[in-house]
Amino acid sequence: MKITLTINGVERSLSCKPHESLRTVLRRAGYFSVRYGSDTGETGAAAVLVDGRLISADVMLAAQADGHDVKTIEGLSTVGRLHPIQEAFIETGAIQSGYSTPATILAAKALIDRNPDPTEEEVRDALSGILDRETGYLRPVHAVMRAAAVMRGDEPDDIGIAYLDPLEDGERPDTDPAQISEIAPRVVPSSDVPETRVVGHATPKVDAIKLVKGNPAFTDDIDLAGILVAKVLYSPHAHARIVSIDDSKARALPGVHAVLHHGNVTRVRYASGGQSYPNPLPYDQVSFDDKVRYVGDRVAAVAADTEEIALAALDLIDVTYDVLPAVFDENEAIAEGAPVIHDESDMEGAHDPSRNIVHHLKADTGDIEDGFAAADRIFEQTHRVHQVQQTPIEPHIAISKWDSDERLVITSSTQVPFHVRRMVAPLLGLPVKRIRIIKPRIGGGFGVKQEMLIEDIVGHLTIATGRPVRLELTREEEFVSSRTRHPQTITFKSGVDAEGRLTAQEMRITANTGAYGTHGLTVQLVSGLRGLSSYNSPVKRFDCKVAYTNIPVPGAYRGYGAPQALFALESHMEDIADALSMDPIEFRRLNWTKVGDPLDIAQKLGEGDQDASVMPIVTSSGLEEAVLQGQRAIGWERRNNPEWVQPEDRPNIRRGLGFAMAMHGTAIPGLDMGGASLKINDDGSFNLLVGATDLGTGSDTVLAQIAAEVVGVSTNDVIVYASDTDMTPFDTGAYASSTTYISGMAVKHAAEDVRAQIVARAAEILGVDAESIDLHSGAAWASDESTVTLETIALSTLHQAGQHQIMATASYVSPESPPPYAAQFAEVEVDIETGQVTVIQLVMAVDCGVPINPITSAGQVEGGMVQALGYGHCEEMAYDEEGRMVNARFGPYKIYRSDEMPRLEAILVQTMEPSGPFGAKAIAEIPKDGVAPAMRNAIANATGVRIANIPFTPERVWRALQEA
Amino acid sequence: MITEYFRPLTLEEALALASRPDAVIIAGGTSVNADAGRSGANAVDLQALGLEGVESRNGTIRIGAMTLLQDLVESDLVPDVLRNLARREAPSTIRNAATIGGTIGAMDPESELLAGLLAYGAIVTLATADSMTDHSLNDILSDPGLIGRGIMTAVTAPSTGFAAADRTGRTPMDRPIVMAVAHVSAEGASPGSVRLAMTGVAPLPVIVDSERIGDLDPPSDFRGSSEYRRRLASVLAARVLTTVGGGEQA
């Protein structure tokens, strides 16, 4: 049918089918800012304005919009000019991946058009339909308020960095944090941090313009002629053997170009986790198997002319299953008589597949019994953590094609393009040199894209058809068929002496890695590392069994084993303090690791090729300061006031405050490697090529800042091109909190080399010694103030004399993994009649070394805390008895939205980490670690009830209250 | 899958189209279009019938069936409790398309707005080929077949009296596990004048006899067992009844 829409003021006549959504039709017409997040309206990534009203275009038929006025973000700005709302989003740091930013800005526009002076509550309501997994909503909400102020003609608040006085020296501070704008990044400065011009400043994101304007930048925005649509047939059974597949009817369907399954795809073993060579064992997957091991496991894939044909073809594939008994719980899976999930003869590297034990990990630093013998008291506690999903708003998507040299080009929303290239090659039967992986902008990853997940499918289909092929997971497929967080049963046993010092600490885990091993080894190693590195103990012991089960596959998820471990550890430490009648922070302080302390278990649980003879030592820690800052920010003293805990006017409410300390790693020592290349252009600008993959975190910006600092320009003069296996140096990828520290150091080294070349030519031109030259403001300056611009130097070296390209490439791998530390605080209210917990406030004070960009760092903490809040409070993958997920959509799978948020505060406590670029450590993952235990401890403060499982859903809390 | 789309300009035309065998009514479309497994090949979009708008007369509000949830939220004529329930019904991106008639037609088992309308004793005006009849919302939810091939044109409810709602959910704006709403007429709380409705205690939002909460047999799911929901029903009912009994508009 034909419809007529007025799109961004221009009347357009478009063809569509009656069932097609407005999103589909707008995207086909070239409005790529209207994005896919779901088919059911709940992500809001596809929101547009219809007659000025904000509407999810995925649940509106294009036909419904016939005759109406439609606005997309493409209509808001012109080349070179931004709308005030777009400017406010950039200035406030409201953009991370930018995937849903166009929709959010349209929501703001609709609101401000009707209400020029909205309250924060009204803004939060206006944004309530656009789910954001990245920012925690704080910055987008304030961006809208700021834009409204600007549009009214008011002077907006200054967004400087708010420097807080340190508290550790015991002096009374002058600054009152309550008076500071909520979005000014709070930095507690350290006197040993040198002054810098670009690093340490809140530089706008280098990719902000394209994101804020909704320009085509994501995988889905690639439009190829003749592209086929891929769809995957997933197992309806949790455990079954495929007796037969009859694909003849599907193949006969006109428009179907390929049907692939175990009968026609070569069987090559692999592990799908995106990790360094050689990938950790076991190799227990193949592209298509004759057995399925969870509801959502792959059975077959088709490529067809259209999505409708592809879906129809899936229905025509006739599969006969022999359904087998299934097991979902990790403890039942390793018990006698459980169904054997991997009984194939060709799998490699599992510890004992006949008992579903993938790995049995053991480590100790001495005889644990000696440690327990030395204890006055021994405490033992078991906790259980559940399964959640990363849920980036952009699901997995990959497009493959043959290029003109008959090389396979796969554009993919991946965190690990270089690993994907190496790992997919053998599956496709191609040498690495015939494969190119391109990572465009990514709409969030959080670890779920640290996987070679769907690239083999599109590759196989392009090889089978000769045609470009596109595969995008639906929201439901993203839940059930991609990757999740490992559930664990965790037992801590600790010996404590009369003073409250640990004499022994033992951690035992049974972990659930689902149907496949993928990250099963390394996530659990990190659980051990984090669980047994936070506190000093003369002797430590780790024992972990990793079990196969029939649940959808756990993999990498921001935090990577640490959130599990720290929930159990920080609950355990809280309860020990309580049993000893010690202050919960005092007890921890007595035991937590400090500068100079050895991280002895790291020697035994290292993944990389680090030198095991060298004991890792804590080289920087701002934990003490972080605790004090956090205590002040949350009003910690209130927890001891019975009138506050039990408010007189609300008899069913109890209030509480909770604390958890967190300690993470910074990159995998001896393993993570990043490369960078920097070259000068005629005008004195630079191309920075990095293999690092910015998931929306702002790492491209941070890397540009590091380069800019060294060569004396602003980030406007650094053009970042990231992650294309043909074009950029290698990088292991965005995981393990490594990018700033590892890739950043590679950039710094390359830039220092470039700097030396610039200085040499500047010295020739100025006729001075190279040692006397400083680079800043786009020029070289001699000590006598004589100067030459980088443009002149570039033109000289490229065209005029002694011609050469000023450029350098460097790479970096670190022998160390300096831990960031954090103090997490939570304030809750518990309704003791219903068990409902309301989170009022979250404060995290974090020592990330020197934050290269305080505004993006604060954004990492805010957004990370909100993901962690979901883990502790409301997110869970729920199943029926047959192992089918019953809540595979947002809503039933509950993530927080803008109009129900607790107050968030991030405080950045500077320390000068000697091994990091400009003193930096990591910040990406640590915000995930402390919220669940801080909530749990706050509930204990409020009610006295100590809960061993997450999430703290109303019924769980109510039952605990009943039992108390 | 929808193969034909119609946008009738009159109610008569719409009723004729709706009487075709595989017609599916589109009000806002947010539920119908989100349901990939929906049946119905002929979409009948009611947007051009002029069924939107809120009027208030003699203590009664009349809400056109195609009135957007967002317009309910913003209407001064609608009692605060219902406005708030309309806001809680869906987030911003959905409220600007979803309608009150569509909300009734979709019969979401956990709809707070439906529970609110039940408590207010809402009446639904249903047009059929040969008549225009009023049914209580309670009758329609008890017997969804009543709608048949008809088209809802309006919902009426008292704009007076006192009401209160309370709920328990995983997060503040989550669909509640159990929600209770009570309305008492302006004359005050005499026996029989209080109407209590709930979600989360039966397959659909229902009117509940406050004396017989113990007889409820709520469905269980991963968010709440039957036993727990019964407990919540009792706690929340007591709270909202106390509030309306005290004459507060919560």
Domain spans of chain B?
4-43, 52-158, 162-245
Q: Is A914 contained in some domain?
A: yes
- CA angle (A895, A899, A900) in 5-degree steps: 60
What was the ipTM of the complex prediction?
A: 0.97
**Six-digit token pair at A299?**
């059975």
- On whether both A836 and A756 belong to a single domain, the answer is no
A93 φ, ψ (degrees, to nearest 5) = 75, 30
Position B246 confidence tier, pLDDT thresholds 50, 70, 90:
low
* Nearest chain B Cα distance for residue A633, angstroms: 24
Position B34 confidence tier, pLDDT thresholds 50, 70, 90:
confident
Nearest to B118 by CA among B202, B59, B29: B202
Tell me the per-residue pLDDT of A885-940, one tens digit each, with 9 for 90 and over. Answer: 999 999 999 999 999 999 999 999 999 999 999 999 999 999 999 999 999 999 99
CA dihedral for B95, B99, B100, B103, sign (positive or negative): negative
Q: Which residues of B touch A24 (CB under 8 A)?
A: none
Q: Which residues of A touch B29 (CB under 8 A)?
A: 59-61, 64
**Six-digit token pair at A487?**
């559930």
Q: Which whole number is the average pLDDT over A766-786?
A: 96
What is residue A158's predicted lDDT score, i.e. its pLDDT? 81
What is residue B249's predicted lDDT score, i.e. its pLDDT? 46
Cis peptide bond upstream of A951, omega within 30: yes
Q: Which of A14, A20, A231, A955 to mutate to test the interface with B (most CBs of B within 10 A)?
A: A955
Position B250 confidence tier, pLDDT thresholds 50, 70, 90:
very low
- On whether both A845 and A750 belong to a single domain, the answer is no
| Contact between B186 and B244 (Cβ < 8 Å) | no
- What is the Cα–Cα distance from A628 to A634, expressed in whole angstroms? 10
Nearest C-alpha in A relative to B70: A53
Looking only at Cα atoms, what is the longest distance across chain A? 84
What is residue B33's predicted lDDT score, i.e. its pLDDT? 87
- What is the Cα–Cα distance from B162 to B185, expressed in whole angstroms? 6
Q: Which residues of B touch A64 (CB under 8 A)?
A: 26, 29, 45, 47
Asked if A47 and B235 come within 8 Å (Cβ–Cβ), the reply is no
Interface of A with B in 846-885 (CB under 8 A): 873-874, 876, 878
Across the interface, of B5, B87, B225, the residue whose CB is closest to A18 is B5
DSSP for A916-928, written as a single string: SGGGB---SSGGG
Asked if B168 and A129 come within 8 Å (Cβ–Cβ), the reply is no
- What is the Cα–Cα distance from A569 to A492, expressed in whole angstroms? 7
Q: Is A571 contained in some domain?
A: no
CB atoms within 10 A of CB B235: 18
B224 pLDDT higher than 80:
yes
Q: Is A566 contained in some domain?
A: no
- On whether both A825 and A808 belong to a single domain, the answer is no
Q: Which amino acid does the sequence have at A864?
A: G
Mean pLDDT (chain A) is 96
Nearest to A692 by CA among A713, A725, A662, A723: A723
Range with lowest mean pLDDT among A234-243, A665-674, B55-64, B239-248:
B239-248
- What is the Cα–Cα distance from A52 to A70, expressed in whole angstroms? 8
- On whether both A653 and A678 belong to a single domain, the answer is no
What is residue B186's predicted lDDT score, i.e. its pLDDT? 77
- On whether both A691 and A787 belong to a single domain, the answer is yes
- What is the Cα–Cα distance from A834 to A823, expressed in whole angstroms? 30
B248 pLDDT higher than 50:
no
| Contact between A68 and A6 (Cβ < 8 Å) | yes
- On whether both A411 and A476 belong to a single domain, the answer is yes
DSSP for A130-194, written as a single string: S--SSS-SHHHHHHHHHHHHHHHTPPPPP---EEPPPSTT-PPPS--GGGS-TTSPEEE--TTSP
Tell me the per-residue pLDDT of A14-32, one tens digit each, with 9 for 90 and over. Answer: 999 999 999 999 999 999 9
- Partner B contacted by A290 (CB < 8 A): no
The CATH number assigned to the domain holding A296 equals 3.90.1170.50
| Contact between A284 and A342 (Cβ < 8 Å) | yes
B27 pLDDT higher than 90:
yes
What is residue A181's predicted lDDT score, i.e. its pLDDT? 85
Asked if B30 and A19 come within 8 Å (Cβ–Cβ), the reply is no
What is residue A174's predicted lDDT score, i.e. its pLDDT? 64
Q: Is A528 contained in some domain?
A: no
Across the interface, of B29, B175, B235, the residue whose CB is closest to A891 is B175
Q: Which of B72, B92, B168 to mutate to test the interface with A (most CBs of A within 10 A)?
A: B92
- Partner B contacted by A835 (CB < 8 A): yes
- On whether both A848 and A777 belong to a single domain, the answer is no
Across the interface, of A53, A834, A951, the residue whose CB is closest to B96 is A53
Last residue of a domain, one of A813, A828, A847: A813
- What is the Cα–Cα distance from A697 to A558, expressed in whole angstroms? 12
**Six-digit token pair at A102?**
């166009």
- What is the Cα–Cα distance from A129 to A15, expressed in whole angstroms? 28
Range with lowest mean pLDDT among A169-183, A279-293, A626-640:
A169-183
Asked if B170 and A873 come within 8 Å (Cβ–Cβ), the reply is yes
Considering the four listed CATH numbers 3.40.50.10790, 3.30.390.50, 3.40.50.920, 3.90.180.10, the one that applies to the domain covering B162-245 is 3.30.390.50
Nearest to A725 by CA among A379, A455, A348: A455
Asked if B168 and A894 come within 8 Å (Cβ–Cβ), the reply is no
Range with lowest mean pLDDT among A450-464, A820-834, B22-36:
B22-36
What is residue A49's predicted lDDT score, i.e. its pLDDT? 98
Interface of A with B in 46-75 (CB under 8 A): 47, 50, 53-56, 58-61, 63-64, 66
CB atoms within 10 A of CB A518: 31
Q: Is A447 contained in some domain?
A: yes
B15 pLDDT higher than 80:
yes
- Partner B contacted by A21 (CB < 8 A): yes
Last residue of a domain, one of A456, A481, A506: A481
**A176 contact partners, CB below 8 Å, separation of at least 6:** none
CB atoms within 10 A of CB A112: 23
Q: Which amino acid does the sequence have at A598?
A: P
Number of domains in chain A: 4
- On whether both A280 and A398 belong to a single domain, the answer is yes
* Nearest chain A Cα distance for residue B120, angstroms: 25
Q: Residue A701 belongs to what H/E stretch?
A: helix A699-711
- On whether both A299 and A404 belong to a single domain, the answer is yes
Domain range for A735 is: 673-813
Q: Is A700 contained in some domain?
A: yes
Q: Which whole number is the average pLDDT over A506-524?
A: 98
Position A611 confidence tier, pLDDT thresholds 50, 70, 90:
low
Question: Rounded to whole angstroms, what are the CA distances from A449 to A390, A444, A677, A941?
Answer: 9, 9, 25, 38
Q: Which of A3, A58, A64, A838 to mutate to test the interface with B (most CBs of B within 10 A)?
A: A64
Q: Which whole number is the average pLDDT over A593-610?
A: 83
Last residue of a domain, one of A770, A791, A813: A813
- What is the Cα–Cα distance from A862 to A868, expressed in whole angstroms? 10
- What is the Cα–Cα distance from A762 to A704, expressed in whole angstroms? 23
Range with lowest mean pLDDT among A631-635, A954-958, B32-36, B144-148:
B32-36
B66 pLDDT higher than 90:
yes
- Partner A contacted by B26 (CB < 8 A): yes
Across the interface, of B3, B34, B222, the residue whose CB is closest to A40 is B34
Q: Which long-range contacts (CB under 8 A, 24 or more apart) does A646-651 make?
A: none
Reported residue count of chain B is 250
Position A160 confidence tier, pLDDT thresholds 50, 70, 90:
confident
What is residue A705's predicted lDDT score, i.e. its pLDDT? 98
- What is the Cα–Cα distance from B105 to A179, expressed in whole angstroms? 50
- On whether both A312 and A448 belong to a single domain, the answer is yes
- On whether both A907 and A864 belong to a single domain, the answer is yes
CA dihedral for A609, A615, A619, A625, sign (positive or negative): positive
CA B61 to chain centre: 15
The CATH number assigned to the domain holding A904 equals 3.30.365.10
Paired with B132 in beta bridges are B127
A446: helix, strand or coil: coil
Spelled out in words, what is the top-level CATH class assigned to the domain B52-158?
A: alpha beta
- What is the Cα–Cα distance from A87 to A209, expressed in whole angstroms? 9
Across the interface, of A41, A887, A900, the residue whose CB is closest to B94 is A41
Q: Residue A762 belongs to what H/E stretch?
A: helix A744-766
Q: Is A53 contained in some domain?
A: yes
By the 10 Å C-beta count (0-12 exposed, 13-18 middle, 19+ buried), B4 is classed as middle
A64: helix, strand or coil: helix
Nearest C-alpha in A relative to B227: A955
- On whether both A283 and A410 belong to a single domain, the answer is yes
A623 φ, ψ (degrees, to nearest 5) = -60, -45
Across the interface, of A63, A125, A954, the residue whose CB is closest to B168 is A954
What is residue A169's predicted lDDT score, i.e. its pLDDT? 77
Tell me the per-residue pLDDT of B177-193, one tens digit each, with 9 for 90 and over. Answer: 999 999 998 776 565 68
End-to-end Cα distance, chain A = 64
Asked if B29 and A64 come within 8 Å (Cβ–Cβ), the reply is yes
What is residue A78's predicted lDDT score, i.e. its pLDDT? 77
